[in-house]
Amino acid sequence: MSNDTFNMSMRKFLKQVGVTSQEALEEHVRASGGTTGSLNVKATITIDGTDFTHVVDGKIDLD
């Protein structure tokens, strides 16, 4: 495994996760008409064929 290949591939994946997740969250907020309050969110990353799970919990303020 090349460190450069691994790092570039991981960065590409994480960028895709960030961009597509932001788009999906924005679409949901627009469709639901949400303008105030906050959203409790959770992102889960798993690796197929392993028991690896990484969970990030957070809060997104709407106003």
In this structure, are strands 38-46 and 53-61 parallel, antiparallel, or unpaired?
Answer: antiparallel
Q: Give the global pTM.
A: 0.82
Q: Tokens at residue 52, please?
A: 């690896």
* Residue 54 near residue 45, CB atoms below 8 Å: yes
Distance CA 50, CA 45 (A): 12
State pLDDT tens for residues 3-25: 999 999 999 999 999 999 999 99
Query: Which one, of 19, 14, 61, lies nearest residue 40 by Cα?
Result: 61
Where is 37: in which H helix or E strand?
none
Residues 33-63: tens digit of each pLDDT: 988 999 999 999 999 999 999 999 999 999 8
Paired residues of 55 in beta bridges: 44
